[in-house]
Structure 1
């Protein structure tokens, strides 16, 4: 469990740096933009590896609560929406223009539905941490007004919807192989 927690602290800590503009500005000034980005990418990749390894090694028990049946049944639809939002996050489409921060919303939906659909200690720690991160970061971006307006184009919405849907279906199909739990009837 310690590896999982270490990975979460590193990953979320890194991603919360922008919520502290003075700290980020100081790091950019001392490291330079390219070294800051390289360090961020390397540490984020290391953190993801620690999260994956830590989650895989953590025991499946104890259970903190019974999973919510509505979350289990609604998860496939929630994941399609989440993947579409994640795909739209870096595209200049109407989805991003309307939602403003689709990546945060997509991660929040993913974390909430997985938190409610599980109930095991390791899942509760993982998904609660990401949900807390989303709330903190969303408050920060709204307070800082860190949204840059742009002229949206419909083609990016089409790309986001198609790619998000395809990726969601792919992940659901292979969820048993990836995570050990089948989430759809056709899952392998």
Structure 2
């Protein structure tokens, strides 16, 4: 469990830099060079992610229940997961979906984490999904008072929303159809 906690602190910690100190990224890039700052940031994020993956895998081997999810909540989990991949696509394909949500990746993270908390009640699950839920909510709230970070996207186009919906639903179907089981060892259905 300790490796999972350290991984979450490292991964979510580096992703919280802009929440806590919005100008830190610019000042570090100015002081050390943009490529050096981005390289260090990426290396820390990758180390954190690898620790999260490894730590979560270890923690799942000795499950300790915090709560027992109600069986009917699995249906709600699937319903909440439907827009997640659509929102992820909308992050990079600007259109009406991105305009309506303003921060589609954060909303996707919130829905993903909440959906998984409804179906999983072990300590490792609560730490992983609860940590991401808390981070995404804090980041979303901080967006109201800090400057928006530029995310490279494809040009805005009238078909972008269609790409988001169709692409997102295809990826969702792939995950439900076997990709989730292959990647994580758990069949969602």
Deviation per CA, 1:23-62, whole angstroms, max 9, x where unpaired?
Answer: 2232222222121112222222222111111111114421
Is 1:14 the counterpart of 2:18? The answer is no
Match of 2:171? 167
Match of 1:143? 145
Q: Helix, strand or coil: the match of 2:89? A: helix
Deviation per CA, 1:91-138, whole angstroms, max 9, x where unpaired?
Answer: 221110111000000000000110121000100000010001011101
Consecutive unaligned residues of structure 2, counting only runs of 5 or more, are none
Match of 2:28? 27
- TM-score normalised by structure 1 residue count: 0.89
Contact kept in structure 2, 1:4 and 1:55, CA below 8 Å: yes
Distance in 2 separating the partners of 1:156 and 1:60: 44
Match of 1:87? 89
Q: Helix, strand or coil: the match of 2:68? A: coil
Contact kept in structure 1, 2:77 and 2:118, CA below 8 Å: no
Contact kept in structure 1, 2:78 and 2:115, CA below 8 Å: no
Distance in 1 separating the partners of 2:37 and 2:31: 9
Contact kept in structure 2, 1:78 and 1:113, CA below 8 Å: yes
Cα distance change of structure 1 residues 23 and 145 upon mapping to structure 2, 3 Å threshold: closer
Runs of 4+ off more than 6 Å: none
Cα distance change of structure 1 residues 68 and 134 upon mapping to structure 2, 3 Å threshold: farther
Contact kept in structure 2, 1:80 and 1:165, CA below 8 Å: yes
Which 10-residue stretch deviates more, 56-65 or 131-140? Answer: 56-65
Match of 2:115? 113
CA RMSD between the two structures: 1.8
Contact kept in structure 2, 1:108 and 1:131, CA below 8 Å: yes
Distance in 2 separating the partners of 1:60 and 1:138: 33
Is 1:122 the counterpart of 2:127? The answer is no
* Pairwise CA distance, 1:70: 4.0
* Pairwise CA distance, 1:145: 5.1
Match of 1:40? 41
Distance in 1 separating the partners of 2:171 and 2:177: 10
- TM-score normalised by structure 2 residue count: 0.88
